Amino acid sequence: MKFETYSSSRESCCDREACAPVLSASDLSLFYGRKAAFRGVNLDIHEGCITALVGPSGCGKSSFLQSLNRLTDLIPACRIEGTVTCCGKDIHEPATDLIALRRRVGLIFQKPSPLPFSIRRNLDFPLREHGFTDRGEREAKMESALRDVCLWDEVKERLDSPATSLSGGQQQRLCIARALALEPQVLLLDEPCSALDPISSGAVEDLIADLRNRFTVVVVTHNLAQARRIADDVAFFWVKENAGRLIEHGPAEAIFSDPENELTRAYIAGLRG
């Protein structure tokens, strides 16, 4: 099965009733060997929204994120139960085109991960591999992606210097631009600010907020204040019985003002975790 490439002619929508979920996990569990990273997670990701996954360390947020585009396949002895559907199609079906899936559902790591190339080649290489043979088209996509992350003016003079020569915040924005250039439908961000200094962190956070409505964003964060500032939906994870669990999820204002679950209430109040 081929996922058709996403077209950008779509209405901005953050209306949970009107839109079918883009990604939907049902009864999803993930095991590293015998140990469960998380169990029984049911969560819908709504189109055009920013969904924040919050919770303490080790509660399976990052593993959950990586299971959404099957990056967990890279980990030996990692086993998945349950289903994830992307636009109604099960991503664990044998016929799934992994390459198309990962292009459609992009992922940004916690640590900035530039490839050991020049800045230009970091964007050019994935584009070329995804079949953009026209050089001019690639250049245009590169420029617009770098403008999207407000990096263009900083790097346009030195596109051929190594990507590792950028600062941490610039590297992370480069990685986001690299993913955006592929025009994903969903962008998964795994604590994108936690390895950065406060100023770079602020820049990346603003960038994520700007992506609202243009992309569907799922962001893992430790930082409750950040989740409150940018998220439309919040999902709260907690460790119970040695495995991560989804305790509560819903619109951000509801979770932050009036959580249903005691644990959520305590966590948000800063009493636990």
Partner 1 sequence: MKSLIHRQRKPADAFAAVILWVMAMAVSFVFVWIVFSIVAGGLSSISREFLTKPPEFSGRSGGISTVLVSTAVILMICLGAAVPLGIATALFLSEFTGNDEWFGRLVRRSLDVLAGVPSIVFGLFGSVFFCRVLGMGYSLIAGGLTLACMVLPIFIRSAEAGLRAVPEEYRSTAAALGISRRAVIFRLILPAAVPGLISGLILSLGRAAAETAALLYTSGYVDRMPESVFDSGRSLTVHIYDLAMNVPGGNSHAYGSALVLVVLLLIINGAATWIGEHGLRRRLIRS
Partner 2 sequence: MDSSGDRWLLWVLRGSAVIAGGVTLLVILFLVAASVPAFQHLGVVRFFTDASWHPAEYAAEGTFNLWPMLVGSLLVTAGAVLIAAPLGVGAAVFCQYYAPGAVAATYRRAIELLAGIPSVVFGFWGLIVLVPMINQWHPPGQSLLAAVLILSLMILPTIAMISDASMAQLPDEYRFSAEALGLTRWATVRGVMLPAAAPGVLTGLILATGRAIGETLAVLMVCGNIVQIPTSAFEPVRTLTANIALEMAYAAGDHRASLFVTGLILTFIVVALVFIVEKINRRFSSLIP
The least distance separating partner 1 from the CB of residue 192, rounded to whole angstroms, comes to 13
Which strands sit side by side in the sheet containing 23-32, from one edge to the other? 89-90, 78-86, 23-32, 35-45, 243-251, 233-240, 50-54, 216-220, 186-190, 105-108
214 binds, among partner 1, partner 2, none (CB under 5 to 8 A by kind): none
CA 253 to chain centre: 21
Say how far apart CA 102 and CA 105 lie, in whole Å.
Answer: 5
224 binds, among partner 1, partner 2, none (CB under 5 to 8 A by kind): none
The least distance separating partner 2 from the CB of residue 96, rounded to whole angstroms, comes to 7
Given a contact cutoff of 8 angstroms between Cβ atoms, the answer to whether 152 and 159 are in contact is no
92/229 with CB nearer partner 2 = 92
109 binds partner 1 (CB under 8 A): yes
Binding string, residues 86-105; x marks residues near partner 2 by CB under 8 A: --------xxxxxx------
20 binds, among partner 1, partner 2, none (CB under 5 to 8 A by kind): none
116 binds partner 1 (CB under 8 A): yes
146/182 with CB nearer partner 2 = 182
Torsion of CA 194, 199, 200, 202, to 10 degrees: 70
Q: Residue 193: helix, strand or coil by DSSP?
A: coil
75 binds partner 2 (CB under 8 A): no
The least distance separating partner 2 from the CB of residue 117, rounded to whole angstroms, comes to 21
Instruction: Please name which of 246, 210, 213, 248 lies closest in space to residue 229, comparing C-alpha atoms.
Output: 210
129 binds partner 1 (CB under 8 A): yes
Distance in Å from the first CA to the final CA of the chain = 42
27/160 with CB nearer partner 1 = 160
* Helix-helix angle 168-181:119-129, to 10 degrees: 20
200 binds partner 1 (CB under 8 A): no
74 binds partner 2 (CB under 8 A): no
Range in contact with partner 1 (rule: CB under 8 A) among 39-47, 49-57, 107-115, 243-251: 107-115
The least distance separating partner 2 from the CB of residue 94, rounded to whole angstroms, comes to 6
- Kind and range of the H or E run holding 265: helix 262-268
7/242 with CB nearer partner 1 = 7
Cα-based angle 22, 27, 31 (whole degrees, multiple of 5): 110
1 binds partner 1 (CB under 8 A): no
Instruction: Please name which of 195, 54, 186, 51 lies closest in space to residue 113, comparing C-alpha atoms.
Output: 195
Binding string, residues 66-85; x marks residues near partner 1 by CB under 8 A: ---x-x-xx-xx--------
129 binds partner 2 (CB under 8 A): no
The least distance separating partner 1 from the CB of residue 65, rounded to whole angstroms, comes to 11
Go through the chain and tell me how many residues it has.
Answer: 273
Residues that bind partner 2 (CB under 8 A): 94-99
